[in-house]
Amino acid sequence: MVEVAVDAAAGHGPGRLALADLAASVGAGDLLTDPAAMEAYRRDWAKDPDVGMPCAVLRARSPEQVVEAMRWATRTRTPVVPRGAGSGLSGGSSAVAGALTISLDRMRAVEVDVATRTARVEPGALNVEVKRAAAGHGLWYPPDPSSFEICSIGGNLATNAGGLCCVKYGVTTDYVLGLDVVLADGRLLRLGGPRVKDVAGLSLLKLFVGSEGTLGVITGATLRLVPAPPPAATLVASFASVADAAHSVVVIGASLRASMMELMDNAAINAVEDLRPMGLDRSAGALLIAQSDAPGEARASEVEAMARVCERHDAIELFTTDDPEEGELFCAARRAFFPAMERRGSLLLEDVGVPVPVLPGLLEGIARIAARLEVDIPVVAHAGDGNTHPIIVYDASDQVATDHARLAFGEVMALAISLGGTITGEHGVGRLKKTALPAQLGEDVMDVSRAIKAALDPLGLLNPGAVL
Amino acid sequence: MVEVAVDAAAGHGPGRLALADLAASVGAGDLLTDPAAMEAYRRDWAKDPDVGMPCAVLRARSPEQVVEAMRWATRTRTPVVPRGAGSGLSGGSSAVAGALTISLDRMRAVEVDVATRTARVEPGALNVEVKRAAAGHGLWYPPDPSSFEICSIGGNLATNAGGLCCVKYGVTTDYVLGLDVVLADGRLLRLGGPRVKDVAGLSLLKLFVGSEGTLGVITGATLRLVPAPPPAATLVASFASVADAAHSVVVIGASLRASMMELMDNAAINAVEDLRPMGLDRSAGALLIAQSDAPGEARASEVEAMARVCERHDAIELFTTDDPEEGELFCAARRAFFPAMERRGSLLLEDVGVPVPVLPGLLEGIARIAARLEVDIPVVAHAGDGNTHPIIVYDASDQVATDHARLAFGEVMALAISLGGTITGEHGVGRLKKTALPAQLGEDVMDVSRAIKAALDPLGLLNPGAVL
C-alpha cells in the first residue's frame, strides 16, 4: 500500500495493485476503468474543459459499496469525487485526474411513507421521481430546480438546491429530516429521521446539506413532504422597465405569499420569442410571472391583489387566470429560456442573489457590465427571493469574446457581493466559483470552514478542488 | 497570565489579576462579581441544584464586549457560559464554578425591514418582542415556544426552539437567514444575511443554530418573516382513548395542513380542570385541539375536514369554531397546563419526540412506566409533529419518590429512542440530558460532533459540560 500511497501523493493516482484491491472490495462489475466508458462521468453541465481522467468510476448500487470505496480511498490516499446526475452548473462533480469518481446514478429508490409524510430516497433518484412518488399519495415535495426532470435528489442535497417555489416554500435544506452520509474514512453516519422536531446534539445534518461532496458522500435521505397544494392562479404583467417590475416584486413580497414570482428582462423575452413565438411583448423592459396556490377563493383574490400592485407600478399589460393550463403556458415561456439560450452560443450561467430590494440595482449593474464589455447578458430571475440567472452568451471560437465573457462572469459576482448579495443562490460554488468565495465570506469564515473540513476529512480526499 | 491559567486549570477560576484585566477590557460597570448579584444568573428553569458560582457575570451591551470577553477567556483559559433569558428547561445555561457567564439579556434591539421581510435582532430580545415588532408591519415571526412571552430569541436560536405552529410552519432554524457569532477566540463571524437563497460555502449558520452555546456566542441574527396569517378556525375533539386521538392526528397530518395540533391526555385534562374549571370532559382519554389558518373559505372547510376525520376515529365530543376568541379559550386550556402542574409538586419536564405514527405507542409506554414506578406523568403533546411533554410530578422531600421520578425520566427517554425517536424535540440537551445523548446518536455521530467542537473551540471553553 505504501508504494501506492506514494503514487497517489505524486498525483498519478493509485497503482494497479490498489485498483485490484478496490475491485475486490466493491466488485469489479460495478467499476469502470476504461477511459471510453468513464468519459460520460467526467463532466457536469459546467462543461469544465480542464476535467481530469479518473482512475476509476464506481457506479454504486448500495451504501455498503460506498463505505468500502471510502475505506479504500483512505487506505490508498486516493481522492474521491461524488457524482449524481451530472446536471450541476458549477463543476462540483467535475472529474479529478487520478481520483475515484463515485456515481450514485444507480441508487434511485424512492419510498413514500404517508403516515410520517416523508419520502425515504436514495441519492440517484431524480427530483421529478421524488415529486411523482409523493404525488401518487396526494403529497408534494416542494423544491423545484428548473432542471427538476433531470437532476438527482442527491445533487439537490449536496448543493442545497432551490427553484421557483422557494419564494413561498423554502429550499432543499428545509425539507431534509434525515441523512445517511459516508465519511472520508468510510464511517456511515445516520443523522435525524422521520421527525419534524429533533434538537438532540449538533445540527450535523444541516452542515452536510449544501457541502457539495466535500464532507461526505450522501447515500440516503428522509425528506419531508407536504399535502399537495391546490392548482395555482397566475398573473402575467409586462413593464416598461425592469425597475418597475422589481419594485412590484418587493411590494408583493411584503404582503402576499406568491408561490412563484419569476422575472424576465427584455433580452430574455426576445430570446424566448425567437425560439418559440408566443406573443410576448418584445418591447417590454420586463415580464413578471407570479402565481398563488392559496386554497379556495384566496387563490384568485391573492392574484388580483398582486395585479393591483403591478398597476400601481405602471404595468403596461396585465393578465390573470385561474385556469392552471393557461397559467402553465406562461411558465413554459419562462422554462423555454435555457433551451433558447443554448442555441445562441457558448454560455456562462450566473446564479447571483441579493436582498430583494436591491434587485433593481443588481439588474442595472449587470446591464452596465454587459454594455461596457460588449457581451450579451439576458437575465431571468427567481425575483421573489432575489436570486437571478444572468446568462453570459459568447462565441467560444473568438478569444476576445471569450475573455470578455470571463471578465463579465467575475464582475457580476463582484457586483452581487458589493450589493450585500451572494455569488451563488442555488447552484453551488463547485470549482467554477471557488476563487470568488473568499471575497464574499471573508478570511475568518473561510478559516472556520477549512477547520471543519479538516476535522471531517483530515486527508482532504473528498471532492478536492471544490468549494474550499 | 500563566499563574492565572494554572488557577483556571485547577478549577478555581481566574485570579484577581485576570478579573481586573477583564473589567478593564469590557468595563467594570457591566461586570457583576458580587455573589448576591450573580445569584439571579446561576440557574435556568431546569433548576439544577448543582450549579456553580461564576467568577463573574458580564451583562453585555454590545458584540464588541462579547468579543473582548472571549479574547480574555482564551488568554486566561476561563470557561464561558452564554445565557439568554434563563427560561431554558435543560440546564443549558446553568452556571459553572469559576466560569464567566455572559448574559445577553440587555442586548434586545429588534429592527424590522419590510422590504426584505426580515427582522434584525439582538439575542436578548424576547420571542414575543420579535413577534410584536413584526406584527407592527403586518408581518409574522412563526416559531412560538409555549414560553414565547419570556424566552429570548438568542435562546431560541441556541436550542433551535420549536413550538405549537411548527407542525405547519417549521422550527427556528427554518427562519434564520443571518447570524453573528463570536467564537471562543473572540473572532466575530458574520454568516448569511437578508437573502432567502445563499449556498456559498458550508452551512456554518445552520451548524451554530441549535449548538446550545457550545460553538460560539450569538450576538445578532437576521430572521425571515412571513405575511401574517389570517385568524385561525379551531377544532376541539375529545376521545375515549389517547390512541383514537393519536390516530386522528396521523390521518389529518397526511392530508390537511393544520397550523396547530395539540393533544392532552386524561391526567393533563384533569390537572387543568383542577386549576381553572372550564368544563373540559374529565372522563375523556384525550383532548385534541387543532387549528387551520388557511386563507378565506378554506379555513372553515379544513377544520370541518379535520372534524370528519375525528368522527371516523370515534370522537366523543366535537366542537368547531371560526371565531378566533372562542378558539383562543381552548388554546388557553392547553397553555394553562404548565402553571397547573407547577402547583402539583416538583416536576421533571420531558421533551421526547417520535415519528407521528408511533405516538400511540409512546403514550402507552409512558403510561406503563408511570404505573410501574408509581409516579404521576400527565402528557401534553405537539401531536402534529410527534413531540410530547410528559411531566413527571413528584414530592422532592420524599427520597423514594425522587428516585422513582429520576428513573422514570431516564426510562421515558430510553423508550423514545427505542421507538426511533429523540430525547429532545425542542428544549435542547443542555446538562440535564447529556448522559442520554450517546444512546440516541451513537458513537460515530458523537465522535464527529466532538471533532467539530474541537475544531471551533480547541480549548473547550464554551459552555463546558453542556451537550457533549
| Residue matched to cell numbers 434591539 | B109
In A2-21, the residues whose Cβ lies within 8 Å of chain B are none
| pLDDT at B433 exceeding the cut of 70 | yes
Predicted confidence (pLDDT) per residue in B11-31, tens digit: 568 989 999 999 999 999 999
* Yes or no, beta carbons of A197 and B448 under 8 Å apart: no
Contacts of B296 in chain A (CB under 8 A): 294-298, 301
Chain B contact for A188 (CB, 8 A cutoff): yes
Distance (Å) from the alpha carbon of B199 to chain A's nearest alpha carbon: 5
Residue B356 contacts A, CB cutoff 8 Å: yes
Question: Residue A369 pLDDT more than 50?
Answer: yes
| Run of H or E residues at B163 | none
Which of B206, B226, B441 lies at the smallest CB-CB distance from A200? B441
pLDDT tens digits for range A250-285? 899 878 889 999 999 998 999 889 888 888 899 999
Residue A429 confidence class, pLDDT cut points 50, 70, 90: very high
Residues of chain A in contact with residue B456, where contact means CB-CB under 8 angstroms, are 448, 451-452
Predicted pLDDT at A12: 61
Mean pLDDT of B186-192: 98
- B290-319 per-position pLDDT tens digit: 999 988 888 999 999 999 999 999 999 999
Greatest alpha-carbon span in chain A: 73
Number of residues that make up chain A: 468
Residue range B194-215: average pLDDT?
97
* Distance, CA of B394 to CA of A83 (rounded, Å): 55
B113 to chain A: closest CA residue: A254
Q: Per mean pLDDT, which range of A129-138, B84-93, B254-263, B443-452 is the poorest?
A: B254-263
Residue A5 has pLDDT above 50, yes or no: no
Q: Between residues 200 and 239 of chain B, which touch chain A (CB distance below 8 Å)?
A: 200-204, 206-207, 209-211, 214-215, 226-227
Kindly provide the residue ranges of all beta strands, DSSP E only, lying in A211-280, ordered along the sequence. Answer: 217-224, 226-227, 233-239, 260-265
Q: Would you call A210 and B196 a contact, using CB atoms and an 8 Å cutoff?
A: no
Contact (CB<8Å) A200/B437:
yes
Question: Would you state the pLDDT for residue A110?
Answer: 98
Cβ–Cβ gap B183/A448 under 8 Å: yes
pLDDT tens, B25-78? 999 999 999 999 999 999 999 988 889 999 999 999 999 999 999 999 999 999
CATH number, domain A229-342, options 3.40.50.720, 3.30.450.40, 3.30.70.2190, 3.40.50.300: 3.30.70.2190
Predicted confidence at residue B266, as pLDDT, reads: 92
pLDDT at A3: 34
Task: Measure CB to CB from residue A254 to each of B114, B387, B422 and give the nearest one.
Answer: B114
pLDDT at A173 over 80: yes
The pLDDT of A33-45, averaged and rounded, is: 96
CATH topology for A2-105 is 3.30.43
Residue A204 has pLDDT above 60, yes or no: yes
Any B CB within 8 A of A302 CB? yes
User: Of B19, B296, B166, which Cα lies nearest the Cα of A297?
Assistant: B296
Q: Map grid coordinates 412518488 to a residue.
A: A133
Lowest mean pLDDT among B289-303, B412-426, B435-449: B289-303
The confidence score (pLDDT) of residue B12 equals: 61
Sort out which chain B residues have CB atoms less than 8 A from A421's CB and list them.
195
Contacts of A214 in chain B (CB under 8 A): 202
- pLDDT of A95 > 90? The answer is yes
B355:A160 CB<8 A: no
Subunit contact A253:B117, Cβ cutoff 8 A: yes
pLDDT at position B2: 31
Q: Does A357 touch chain B (CB under 8 A)?
A: yes
Nearest Cα residue to B385 out of B409, B362, B418, B411:
B362
Q: Which three cell numbers stand for residue A450?
A: 477549512
Of the candidates B214, B296, B452, the beta carbon closest to that of A297 is on B296
What is the C-alpha separation between B93 and B142, in angstroms, rounded?
Answer: 24
Given CB atoms, is A441 within the 8 Å cutoff of chain B?
yes
Residue range B189-199: mean pLDDT, rounded: 95
**pLDDT above 90 coverage of chain A, percent:** 84
Q: Of A225, A253, A230, A231, whose CA–CA distance to A142 is shortest?
A: A225
| pLDDT, position B1 | 31
Nearest CB to A201 within list B114, B386, B441:
B441
Greater pLDDT, B293 or B339: B293
Fold of domain B110-227: 3.30.465
Cα–Cα distance for residue pair B460/B215, rounded to 1 Å: 9
Phi, psi of B160 (to 5 degrees): 50, 55
Predicted local confidence at residue B340, as pLDDT: 82
Best residue in B164, B185, B197, B297 for a mutation probing chain A (most A CBs within 10 Å): B197
| Terminal Cα-to-Cα distance of chain B (whole angstroms) | 28
CB pairs under 8 A between A and B: 289
Residues B138, B144, B145, CA angle at the centre, nearest 5°? 160
pLDDT at residue B36, rounded to an integer: 97
The cell for A132 is: 411523482
pLDDT category, B227, cuts 50, 70, 90?
A: confident
Q: Which of A122-131, A230-239, A377-386, B250-259 has the lowest mean pLDDT?
A: B250-259
| B-chain residues near A198 (CB < 8 A) | 353, 422, 424-425
Asked if B427 lies within 8 A of A190 by C-beta distance, the reply is no
> pLDDT value at position B5?
38
What is the value of pTM for the model shown?
A: 0.95
pLDDT confidence tier of residue A329, bands split at 50, 70 and 90: confident
Mean pLDDT of the residues in chain A = 93
* Tens-place pLDDT, residues B367-394: 999 999 999 999 999 999 999 999 999 9
Of B298, B385, B440, the CB nearest to A295: B298
Asked if A209 and B209 come within 8 Å (Cβ–Cβ), the reply is no
Q: Whats the size of chain B, residue-wise?
A: 468
Same fold across B229-342 and B344-428: yes
**Closest residue on chain A to B182 (Cα):** A444
Tell me the average pLDDT of chain B: 93
Comparing alpha-carbon positions, the chain A residue that sits nearest to B446 is A201
Q: What angle do CA A288, A291, A294 make, to 5 degrees?
A: 155
Q: What are the counts of helices (DSSP H) followed by strands (DSSP E) for chain B?
A: 17, 18
- Chain B residue with the nearest C-alpha to that of A299: B295
A167 closest CA partner among B55, B116, B439: B116
Q: Are A235 and A306 in contact (CB under 8 A)?
A: yes
Percentage of residues of chain B with pLDDT beyond 70: 97
Q: Which residues of B touch A138 (CB under 8 A)?
A: 254-255
C-alpha distance from residue A31 to each of A38, A57, A60, A92, B197 (Å): 10, 6, 8, 21, 37
B9: pLDDT strictly greater than 80: no
- Domain map of chain A by residue range? 2-105, 110-227, 229-342, 344-428
Rounded Cα distance, A364 and A385, in Å: 17
pLDDT of residue A277: 87
- With an 8 Å Cβ cutoff, are A211 and B202 in contact? yes
Domain A344-428 has CATH 3.30.70.2740: yes
Query: Do A145 and A153 form a contact (C-beta atoms < 8 A)?
Result: no
CB-count burial class (<10 Å; 0-12, 13-18, 19+) for B254:
buried
Of A254, A421, A456, the CB nearest to B451: A456
pLDDT at A342: 82
pLDDT at B275: 84
Q: Select the residue of B199, B444, B468 nearest A424 (Cβ to Cβ).
A: B199
The torsion angles phi and psi of B247, rounded to 5 degrees, stand at -65, -35
Task: Report DSSP state, residue B175.
Answer: G
pLDDT value of residue A385: 92
